[in-house]
């Protein structure tokens, strides 16, 4: 951790990510953050305006990084299958590598005031719409077969995001291999044109919508 005048906003941000992830946003005070960085509380304000603004910058920043990385990678891809594989593998890898920020983003949205919360939700919607467009384009091209594009996209987002909960470097598979397994799973499911059962057929006799 840099000290003796070398403290930067990025160092403070890194400490905040770790402390918010370990202890939660509400339980982490500015005094805790200053102590972790190695400066006095008052010196934090040379780099941040408030703890709330710091949380927002973390949550908004990770979504902007994700959008930028995926959009940049997709710029050279034209075919739906290639675009979806690229997007899924980046989605998986990003959430594995940035797992602490992902955890904060998933657990601390309620801590943001309404305007900032709405801004982060808008970024999430933009990302979901990006993936949904890839799936929809594949359906229109006749290469993807899904009963509902929106639900299929939710599933893709969820399975990739979940990797952040368990991934650790040095396991039996590399992150690149894990990402390929996930993209194979997604593509195999979307390119299968055989519906197994009618919608709701299996579960309907077992449950009722009302409870």
> What gap in Å lies between CA 56 and CA 37, rounded to an integer?
19
What fold is seen in the domain 51-191? Tetracycline Repressor; domain 2 (1.10.357)
Output the CA torsion 155→158→161→163 (10° steps): -80
Residue 85 has a pLDDT of 97
Concatenating the DSSP letter of every residue in 3-29 gives -TT---HHHHHHHHHHHHHHH-TTT--
Cα torsion 92, 93, 97, 101: sign: negative
- Is 80 exceeded by the pLDDT of residue 193? no
- Is 70 exceeded by the pLDDT of residue 24? yes
Q: Which residue has the higher pLDDT, 137 or 196?
A: 137
55-97 residue pLDDT tens: 999 999 999 999 999 999 999 999 999 999 999 999 999 999 9
**Domain boundaries of the chain, sorted by first residue:** 9-44, 51-191
Buried b (16+ CB within 10 A) or exposed e, 150-173: eebbeebbeebbebbeebeeeeee
| pTM greater than 0.75 (yes/no) | yes
Mean pLDDT in the chain? 89
Residue 89 has a pLDDT of 96
- Is 50 exceeded by the pLDDT of residue 6? no
Q: Quick one: tokens of 78?
A: 């034209």
- For 9-44, the fitting CATH number among 1.10.10.60, 3.40.190.10, 2.60.120.620, 3.40.50.720 is 1.10.10.60
Residue 2 has a pLDDT of 45
- Is 50 exceeded by the pLDDT of residue 122? yes
């Amino acid at each position: 951790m840099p000290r003796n005048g070398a403290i930067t906003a990025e160092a403070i941000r890194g400490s905040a990510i770790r402390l918010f992830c370990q202890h939660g946003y509400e339980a982490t005070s500015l005094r805790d953050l200053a102590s972790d960085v190695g400066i006095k509380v008052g010196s934090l304000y040379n780099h941040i305006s408030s703890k709330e603004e710091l949380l927002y910058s973390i949550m908004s920043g990770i979504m902007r990084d994700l959008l930028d990385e995926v959009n940049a990678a997709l710029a050279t891809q034209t075919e739906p299958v290639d675009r979806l594989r690229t997007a899924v593998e980046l989605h998986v890898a990003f959430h594995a590598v940035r797992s602490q920020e992902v955890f904060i983003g998933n657990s601390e949205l309620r801590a943001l005031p309404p305007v900032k919360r709405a801004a982060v939700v808008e970024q999430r919607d933009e990302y979901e719409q990006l993936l949904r467009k890839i799936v929809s384009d594949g359906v229109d091209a006749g290469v993807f077969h899904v009963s509902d594009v929106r639900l299929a996209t939710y599933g893709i987002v969820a399975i990739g995001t979940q990797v952040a909960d368990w991934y650790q470097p040095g396991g039996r598979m590399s992150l690149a291999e894990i990402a390929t397994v996930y993209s194979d799973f997604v593509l195999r499911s979307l390119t299968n044109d055989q519906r197994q059962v009618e919608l709701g057929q299996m579960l309907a006799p077992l449950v009722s919508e009302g409870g």
